[in-house]
Structure 1
Amino acid sequence: MEDLFASINLTLNQELPSITESQQALFTQLSIDENQPGTILRDFQSLIDFIQPKGVEVSSVNHLLPLKVLSELNLQLSHPIDTKLKRPVQKSYPYINGLYLLLRSSGIVQIKSQGRKQFLVLDEAVLESWSRLNFTERYFTLLEAWLIWGNNEILGERQDTWNNLFKCIQFWARIPDQGLKFAKYDDQQILGYYPGLHNIALLELFGLLSIQQAKAQEGKGWRINSVERLPLGDAMFRLLFPVGIIGKFEEEINISFGQLQPQFQPFFPEWQNNLILPKQGFTDGIYIFKVSVAKSWRRIAIPAKRELSWLASTILDAFDFDYDHLYEFSYKDRFGRTCTIAHPYTESPPFADQVRIGDLPLELGTSMTYLYDFGDNWKFHVQLEDIQPTDNKIKKAKILEIHGDAPRQYWSEDDDWNEDE
């Protein structure tokens, strides 16, 4: 098995590996339900039930689960872990962290603002689509949500260069037939970096890997004694090896499910339907933004049909900045990924003069960052406060309120420096 995955540097002329007859038989004989091949479906449903009916308050920045619910949720899962950390956070519970990744990347949940608080709530339309899927369809939906669409940025970490499929294929190649053993806690630290403890946990939940846990040490987190490949994991990654190595989905932006159906449906004919996500449409109206920088802020109204470049210019006018530099807007989409829309003179689309305000997938209370001047890096906090009915009297952007003196855009050595600005 190690020889198969060691040949990462494949050329186009080399023949890609194919699964063996015994692995084909393993697939065709596999019956997927809530408890096999792993407990992923049962544990995922436990997390859905935990969120219902009103949602769960999450952190304001990365929208992660709070400390007060982690211990309770941990005990409800099939593989509760023992941790001796004094103040554990979400990533201290790799099974919860992995399941949270699937919740966000599947689109079954979304973040809603209630005043200054942020809540993780179920999307009823997506949940209805999920309820119509059979066990096999749910299993492969979550597999795609993990291996193709799951990004560490959802977990409050840096955006990944490679998707989880590529990382897991590389990790799989490093597991010898006798498994990996970790005599002491420090030996397992490498797993936290690559492929990540949440990926290790998900490998077990999907029935691909066997994990032997050990008793946690005082002041330490999850203790792994050993990991061992399972036959289903060998078959799965052999089948997905060509897809993962060529990075087929690395450039995909729009999330849709059924990407791996051509590979798996011949062995799982019951996979007929896929999770349906709502399409982002245009929302008309007058958008009210509160734009803040330093100790000053401005309230701006702009029609939905105006391009984002209009908002960019209005922000500069509101704070008496010139137009001499490039900029970009960035925001988190419903899946927790950072999306950017840049100045028309930059190289990578989408561009601000091609995206209308009403096309932005923003919920009330959510924010964007307007980064102006890539040298001085002025960061404006742009919060959507309201969407009011269309008003024919407002045909372009309008500054409604001004609070505080605008910071000085340029400084010279002769100016007095004020750190508050």
Structure 2
Amino acid sequence: MNKEELKIEIENLQIQDDFSDFINYISTNNVKLTAQANHIGPKDCFAINNLLYHKQAVKHNKLKHPKYHAIWLFFQLGLTSGLLEIDDQKSSNYLKVNEEKFSYFMSFNKVEKYLMLLETLWVKCCLENLNPDGRGPDFQENLNDFFESLEESLPNKNEPNNLFYSHYNDVIIQLPFFGWWDYSLKKDTTYYDIVEEVDISLLGEFFIKKLKAERPLLFWNKHSRINKSYLFETTFMMFQYERTDLSEEDINKLLDRVSKESFLDVFTDNFEEGILDKKNFYSSNTQDNNYIFKVALTKKIWRKIKISSLATFEDLHIAIMQAFNFDNDHLYAFFLSGTVYKGDSLKDPRREEAPFADEVEIKEADLQNGDKIAYLFDYIAGWQFLLKLEEIETNTTPLSKPQIVDTKGEAPEQYPDWEE
């Protein structure tokens, strides 16, 4: 596929317009999230679905958010990119748009929009969130394995293999909107959609080969790097098998490449000059900065902590303990999804299972302004804090130790006297 053909293929896709229409709906409507799951409500989903080119055939307006495949994908991409934010008002949570970021996104051409969405998916997104019901195989591992299997089987990619396709059912159904494949479903299923056949497009062939060779998922996805998934070939039941196809030197070279290159650098030569003028939607946090986190126990009790990007999450944990006058005498965990017990977690070093908080620098999490992290301290008492990155101070000397820069409310007693 030459440069002009690739450009035309991408410009003919509808994912860019569908995503823009989705964000614009949120911008122009008061979208309230469901109380328990923080999902878009059924009536709003029904209205959004009718706006999309990739609309699903639905019979009523009571279908829940995770059942709308395109809307679920766009919701995750919007939150991950910072285009969408959850506004926690007094009684309910609402979805709002970061208008400045949306305006910048809308200034992109269709190729730039497409690659921005691809970078969000491939590099920034916690891929487990794309599995709407949380069941079944690991979504990230399945996406990686699916690409490996398809690349190996090209060009005999369209031969029906129901067992093969059913294993990657969630990946196939959640990600057709990038134009990599079309699929058909079995007609005799009642409760769940089951893939019967997949047809890989020319665009799919290009990106499957390109991403596998130049941007391997387990190295480029930030959540995979934090979990060090690249060290393992596969997971069976609860057992992980260390990979044997790459030496330690090979792994370090790949990680070094991730640290030095932009995800989009590899696509520059595939387009004529000027097509990717606005290719960098995301600011680079590779330099040493200071971060300011708002650490909230409740809406009326919070502390703002300034800390170096070179500090570890263990250092951040200790800073939170000191800010709230808690004793550091229980286990803790940080959840990068922003929700306790969901997605990736950085664990207390006293736990047996990695990744450990004292081995991950804050800058390795590749955070952007507005990103939220859930912090759980003391699994029995269940102290839950919500961290929001409010500011990244650039061109400044990293702090040698954290600072408390603002406070509100009196910290509660860690061990209240229940007899009083």
TM norm structure 2: 0.63
In our comparison, the structure showing a higher alpha carbon Rg is: 1
RMSD: 5.0
Matches within 5 A, 1:50-69: 50-54=25-29, 56-60=31-35, 62-69=37-44
Secondary structure in 2 matching 1:82: coil
Is 1:276 matched with 2:281?
A: yes
1:89 Cα offset (Å)? 2.3
1:257 Cα offset (Å)? 10
Secondary structure in 1 matching 2:205: helix
1:328 Cα offset (Å)? 3.0
Aligned to 1:18: none
User: Retained in 2: the 8 A contact 1:209–1:230?
Assistant: yes
Aligned to 2:246: none
Secondary structure in 1 matching 2:375: strand
1:130 Cα offset (Å)? 0.9
RCO higher in 1 or 2 (8 Å CA, sep ≥ 6)? 1
1:220 Cα offset (Å)? 3.7
Letter of the structure 2 residue corresponding to residue 304 of structure 1: I
Alignment partner of 1:210 out of 157, 182, 185: 182
**Distance in structure 2 (CA, Å) of the matches to 1:255 and 1:67:** 41
**Distance in structure 2 (CA, Å) of the matches to 1:154 and 1:328:** 19
1:34 Cα offset (Å)? 8.0
Is 1:370 matched with 2:350?
A: no
TM norm structure 1: 0.63
Size of the aligned set, in residue pairs, is 349
Is 1:265 matched with 2:272?
A: no
Letter of the structure 2 residue corresponding to residue 198 of structure 1: Q
Between structures 1 and 2, the one with greater helix share: 2
Is 1:242 matched with 2:213?
A: yes
1:23-71 C-alpha deviation (Å, 9 max, x unpaired): x43x4323348861x2211211221222123552223565322222222
**Distance in structure 1 (CA, Å) of the matches to 2:63 and 2:345:** 32
1:198 Cα offset (Å)? 0.7
1:134-176 C-alpha deviation (Å, 9 max, x unpaired): 1211111112222333333434548755484564343565684
Matches within 5 A, 1:136-147: 136-147=111-122
Secondary structure in 2 matching 1:210: strand
Aligned to 1:6: none
User: Retained in 2: the 8 A contact 1:109–1:123?
Assistant: yes
Is 1:197 matched with 2:173?
A: yes
Alignment partner of 1:311 out of 308, 311, 320: 320
Letter of the structure 1 residue corresponding to residue 264 of structure 2: L
**Distance in structure 1 (CA, Å) of the matches to 2:120 and 2:411:** 43
Q: Sequence identity of aligned pairs in percent?
A: 16
Distance 1:246 1:35, change over 3 A: closer
Is 1:30 matched with 2:36?
A: no
1:104 Cα offset (Å)? 2.6
Alignment partner of 2:69 out of 78, 94, 112: 94
Distance 1:252 1:402, change over 3 A: closer
**Distance in structure 2 (CA, Å) of the matches to 1:255 and 1:63:** 34
Letter of the structure 2 residue corresponding to residue 237 of structure 1: I
* Structure 1: runs of 5+ lacking an equivalent: 1-23, 292-297, 388-393, 409-421
1:402 Cα offset (Å)? 5.2
Matches within 5 A, 1:317-328: 317=326, 323-328=328-333
Letter of the structure 1 residue corresponding to residue 375 of structure 2: T
Aligned to 2:96: 121
User: Retained in 1: the 8 A contact 2:185–2:196?
Assistant: yes
1:249 Cα offset (Å)? 0.8
* Structure 2: runs of 5+ lacking an equivalent: 227-257, 308-315, 391-403
Aligned to 2:247: none
Aligned to 1:381: 384
Secondary structure in 1 matching 2:94: strand
Letter of the structure 2 residue corresponding to residue 380 of structure 1: W
Distance 1:54 1:265, change over 3 A: farther
Aligned to 1:168: 147
Alignment partner of 2:158 out of 175, 178, 186: 178
1:275 Cα offset (Å)? 4.1
Aligned to 1:400: 410
**Distance in structure 1 (CA, Å) of the matches to 2:63 and 2:260:** 34
Distance 1:168 1:153, change over 3 A: same
